[in-house]
């Protein structure tokens, strides 16, 4: 069985996906910035699946050369993955006129280019190995513009566009690409996000419930296994995926009403 590679694999949806794939018998390669968190994640995976191998690759996914080197090292050590999940990301909400430009650049560097570098480094090896499954973790913020997400949402819009193109471009190479649009999920990233999230944004994004990372990861892996383009867990995300163009004017009106409420 070919291994599974996961960026952002030290916590949240990435770690949950790694655990599920490990339980299926896949050896796991974890890519994340913090060596300490990687080591802790490795132990979590081994506790759940003691008979598989887990290797850690400390890397900043926004560094293209570092990603290419880490992926090449992982392939040389473990073989070409059958599953590759790009889950690394950041979310720091705030208002456009108040956030520095470099924060916008950082969101694009990690959320978009980090996924692009990872998938690009694996495209050739996976195609040569007969194909595989690629998962991109986007966001409900990729469906329509949300107050307070000017630095975050564009990176997820871009990831959505990349995934839709790769879904058709890489299919002839035997590579299925799936995009996941999680609702609010109980992860360290969500906890960090809440620290800067404007009150109006909290209210606007309320309604999809709070999912557990394990439930989202299970939906993602099932969608990847089936070769589906979109995984949109929950009623709210499913509705946004299907009907955004129709309901966007209502959503904008709803946002304006809430923004006025919190501005009073």
Enzyme catalytic residues: 138, 152, 156
Report the DSSP pairing between strands 132-137 and 211-212.
unpaired
Residue 190 structure tokens: 């969500």
Report the DSSP pairing between strands 83-86 and 54-58.
unpaired
Identify whether the C-beta of residue 19 lies closer than 8 Å to the C-beta of residue 44. yes
If DSSP codes are grouped into helix, strand and coil, which group holds residue 186? strand
If DSSP codes are grouped into helix, strand and coil, which group holds residue 132? strand
Phi, psi of 81 (to 5 degrees): -70, 150
Nearest to 64 by CA among 9, 105, 116: 116
H or E element at residue 4: strand 4-7
Kindly report the number of other CB atoms within 10 A of residue 146's CB atom: 21
Cα–Cα distance between 208 and 211 in angstroms, integer?
Answer: 8
């Amino acid at each position: 069985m070919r291994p599974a590679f996961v960026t952002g694999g030290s916590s949240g949806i990435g770690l949950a996906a790694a655990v599920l794939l490990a339980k299926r018998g896949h050896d796991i390669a974890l890519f994340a910035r913090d060596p300490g968190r990687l080591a802790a994640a490795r132990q979590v995976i081994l506790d759940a699946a003691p008979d598989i191998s887990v290797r850690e690759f400390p890397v900043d996914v926004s560094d293209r050369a570092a990603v290419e080197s880490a992926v090449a090292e992982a392939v040389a050590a473990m073989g070409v993955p059958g599953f590759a999940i790009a889950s690394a990301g950041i979310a720091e909400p705030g208002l456009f006129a108040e956030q520095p430009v470099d924060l916008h650049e950082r969101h694009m560097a990690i959320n978009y280019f980090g996924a692009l570098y990872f998938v690009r480094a694996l495209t050739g090896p996976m195609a040569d190995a007969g194909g595989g499954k690629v998962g991109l973790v986007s966001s409900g913020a990729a469906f329509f513009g949300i107050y307070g997400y000017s630095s975050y949402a564009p990176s997820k819009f871009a990831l959505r566009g990349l995934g839709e193109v790769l879904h058709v471009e890489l299919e002839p190479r035997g590579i299925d690409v799936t995009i996941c649009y999680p609702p609010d999920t109980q992860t360290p990233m969500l906890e960090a996000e809440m620290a800067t999230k404007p009150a109006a944004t909290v209210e606007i994004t309320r309604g999809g419930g709070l999912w557990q990372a394990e439930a989202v990861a299970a939906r993602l892996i099932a969608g990847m296994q089936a070769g589906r383009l979109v995984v949109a867990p929950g009623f709210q995300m499913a509705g946004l995926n299907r009907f955004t163009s129709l309901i966007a004017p209502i959503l904008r009106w709803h946002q304006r009403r809430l923004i006025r409420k919190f501005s009073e």
